[in-house]
Amino acid sequence: MISEEQQDQAALYALGLLDSDEDAAFESELRANAELRDLVRELREAAGDLALTAPSLLPPASLKERVMGEIAMETTRVVPMATRRAPFSWVPWAIAAALAVFCGLLALDRVRLQRQLADIRAADPLMQTTFYTLAPSAPAPADAKATVAWQPGRQSGVIRISNLPAPQSGKDYQLWAVDAEHKDPISAGVVRVDKSGVAQVRFKPVEKAEHVKAFAISLEREGGVPKKKGPILLVGTA
Amino acid sequence: MAETPTTQQMLDQEMIARIGRRDQSAFSAIYDRLSGPLYSLAMKMLGDPAEAQDALQDVFLQIWSRAGSYDPDQSSVFSWTVLLTRSRVIDRLRARGRRSRVVVASTEETPTAAADASTVESAADTAEKNDEAARVRYVLTNLPSEQREAIEMAFFEHLSHHEIAARLGQPLGTVKARIRRGLLKLRQRLSTL
């Protein structure tokens, strides 16, 4: 049972309004109280949703370039050199110039390879297939898994599931395609596992899914539902 | 008991896990998904496009560097990034020694005058995001006005409960209760709507 005072503190904590002493005291209380932790999470989600009430704006496209540039630099950042000018200080510049030429050649080669890859993809059905690895989320068993081989051109795919126990009576597993251009996940049918928790079935979503971001499996009532309602058990991107 | 994560929340979690493994394409995807709402929040609190962009840049660099320590048990990815954004914005407000210039009548969808370096989100915005925003706005505007006012002052203006009590001329306990009741109602109604 959470007291009203604890609820007050939880709301202030979720909004970041406690001072540092109150904050530390409340966090130690949180560590010992699972129910209070759940409440804080709920209140945090409510606070997070408040951001959506701000008038909707987009940052300029240049900001993304700036941010992506920063992380690329951070990824390749090297230990800074000593500030004292070395006798052969031109050497790094010469290496940089050589690297620049080399990168130019690589870029040309990349364009050529991309063209070749596009040709191969057009000719080979396997190359037109995208693979999605689905990982479990509670309440699915930790070793449950699934792989989807999806062919957008044919709008069909194959799913293989393993280590997923059969659902209780009156329930079925249902496969969903999460498509960037559809508000709700698109049903790709009911999937039934055998006694050993394995299934391998071909599927076709009920609507056209041209930009599939992910596939997911949920637990639904027997026979499936037109719109996802039940908990997600497995989900994964390409 | 915590709610089961939605498909979108699970996708976000997977993206963050990939960012933790230094996956720049996952980072690019999460930027595309979250930069709009986070920028909108920063703009609302700071009222200045250049500062909002700097704050957003800091936030995404933090997402890049801290993705490995993100804990899905504590909050969804969206709430985590909103809290990071508020925190960076509050640092900036403190640094410039004044409060946010927001107007509390915030639930109206008013065009901002400070959008010179930005674009008002329109066709590019997905229907899903608009629906979600409309849903939150609807619930917020239907809270009792005194609860909505206290929550908005706390969230967007970052006024402490003491400051809100002083501004409204209400006892501290009343303000705390309004914030608590308002947030609980908001969460409850959002989860059932």
* Cα–Cα dist A189/A179, whole Å: 15
Task: For chains A and B, count residue pairs whose Cβ atoms are closer than 8 Å.
Answer: 215
* Cα–Cα dist A99/A228, whole Å: 53
- The pLDDT tens digits for B67-112 are 999 998 889 999 999 999 999 999 888 887 755 455 444 444 443 4
| Closest Cβ–Cβ partner in B28, B57, B76 for A45 | B76
Which residues in chain B have their CB less than 8 angstroms from residue A53's CB? Answer: 106-107, 133, 136-137, 140
Q: How far is CA A28 from CA A11, A21, A45, B2, in A?
A: 16, 11, 21, 20
For A5-31, b/e burial (b = at least 16 CB within 10 A) is ebbbbbbbbbbbbbeeeeeeebeeebe
Which architecture characterizes domain B1-97 according to CATH? Answer: Orthogonal Bundle (1.10)
Length of chain A: 238
- What are the E-state strand segments in chain A? 57-58, 130-136, 145-151, 156-162, 171-179, 186-191, 199-203, 212-221, 232-237
Q: Mark the ranges of chain A whose per-residue pLDDT is less than 70.
A: 76-89, 117-127
Say which DSSP state A159 is in: E
A136 to chain B: closest CA residue: B10
More confident residue, B155 or B7: B155
With bands split at pLDDT 50, 70 and 90, how would you rate the model's confidence at B121?
Answer: very low
What's the pLDDT at B145?
Answer: 94
Q: Where are the domains of chain A?
A: 4-51, 130-237
CA distance B96 to chain A (A): 19
The mean predicted confidence, pLDDT, of chain B is 82
B133 to chain A: closest CA residue: A52
What's the pLDDT at B3?
Answer: 58
What are the beta bridge partners of residue A133? A147
B71 to chain A: closest CA residue: A41
Which residues in chain B have their CB less than 8 angstroms from residue A4's CB? Answer: 177, 180
- What are the E-state strand segments in B49-130? 119-120
Which residues in chain B have their CB less than 8 angstroms from residue A7's CB? Answer: 180, 184
Say whether A54 and B140 touch across the interface (CB within 8 A): no
| Closest Cβ–Cβ partner in A17, A38, A56 for B2 | A38
* Cα–Cα dist A119/A122, whole Å: 5
What's the pLDDT at B21?
Answer: 92
Strands A212-221 and A199-203: unpaired
Q: Where are the domains of chain B?
A: 1-97, 127-193
Which residues in chain A have their CB less than 8 angstroms from residue B61's CB? Answer: 67, 70-71, 74
What's the pLDDT at B123?
Answer: 38
- What are the E-state strand segments in chain B? 119-120
Q: Which of B4, B85, B139 is the best substitution to test chain A (most A C-beta atoms within 10 A)?
A: B4
What's the pLDDT at A118?
Answer: 65
| Closest Cβ–Cβ partner in A17, A41, A66 for B75 | A41
**Superfamily, domain A130-237:** Superoxide dismutase, copper/zinc binding domain (2.60.40.200)
Cis peptide before A139 (omega within 30 of 0): yes
What's the pLDDT at B130?
Answer: 66
| Closest Cβ–Cβ partner in B44, B57, B128 for A63 | B57
Judged on CB neighbours under 10 Å (0-12, 13-18, 19+), A1 is exposed
Secondary structure (3-state) at B47: coil
Handedness of CA B89, B136, B14, A214 (dihedral sign): negative
Q: CATH assignment of B127-193? A: 1.10.10.10
Q: Among residues of chain B, what percentage have pLDDT more than 90?
A: 60
What's the pLDDT at B15?
Answer: 92
Cβ atoms of residues A15 and B155 within 8 Å:
yes
Q: Is the pTM of this model over 0.90?
A: no
Task: State the Rg of chain B over Cα.
Answer: 17
Q: ∠ CA(B15), CA(A192), CA(A143), 5° rounding? A: 45
What's the pLDDT at A124?
Answer: 57
* Cα–Cα dist A33/A127, whole Å: 52
Which residues in chain B have their CB less than 8 angstroms from residue A185's CB? Answer: 7
